[in-house]
Structure 1
Amino acid sequence: MKINVSFDLTPEEFRRVMGLPDVQEFQQEVFHQMMEKMKSGEEGYDAMSLYKPLFSESMTAMNKFQ
């Protein structure tokens, strides 16, 4: 027997139903700060250093999958 249940919710409604915090303002602030650092060319700021951990984890997961 199969039972399929579907919900027609927006991401915002789903977030509220699951009791997850609203982090949209936090994300916008972090993004704004990153953009300001990139635009000003802040000393020692390397945008790729933020993504290196994500890339290495993704490749490790892909290798394990293969």
Structure 2
Amino acid sequence: MKITVDVDCTPEEARTFLGLPDVKPMQDAMLQEIQSRMMQNLQAMEPEALYRTWLPASVQGFEQMQKFFWSQLNRSAGGGSTSDK
């Protein structure tokens, strides 16, 4: 024997019938918070802001790496000498 029951109701009606909590207010609050954070972060994604943020650090890092490589090259070429040219 097979019994089929079709229930035609909205998700809200099903949630109420099953005794589940209504999370719509919490979802709306979280969505508003996410939206405000995204809008704040979009301002930091402007090309000028990215240029100012990334370029100085990368240039300094490149210069430090270059100095390190040159110092290691001078040491190995000079037989352990640490003189800078």
| Interval of TM-score (by shorter of Structure 1 and Structure 2) | 0.5 to 0.7
Q: After the TM superposition, which residues 11-26 of structure 1 pair with which residues of structure 2 at under 5 Å, given as runs?
A: 11-26=11-26
Tell me by how many angstroms 1:33 deviates. 0.1
Distance in 2 between residues matched to 1:27 and 1:10, nearest whole Å: 18
Identity among equivalent pairs (%): 40
Structure 1: tracts of 5 or more residues without a match: 43-66
Distance in 2 between residues matched to 1:13 and 1:38, nearest whole Å: 33
After superposition, what is the alpha-carbon deviation per residue over 1:15-37, rounded to whole angstroms, capped at 9, x for unaligned? 00000001101000001000100
Between the two structures, name the one with larger relative contact order (CA 8 Å, sep ≥ 6).
Answer: 1
Tell me by how many angstroms 1:10 deviates. 0.7
Task: Report how many aligned residue pairs link the two structures.
Answer: 42
Which amino acid in 2 is paired with 1:8? D
The residue that corresponds to 1:29 in the other structure is 29
Structure 2: tracts of 5 or more residues without a match: 43-85
Distance in 1 between residues matched to 2:5 and 2:41, nearest whole Å: 50
Q: State the TM-score, normalizing by the size of structure 1.
A: 0.60
The residue that corresponds to 1:4 in the other structure is 4
Distance in 1 between residues matched to 2:22 and 2:3, nearest whole Å: 32
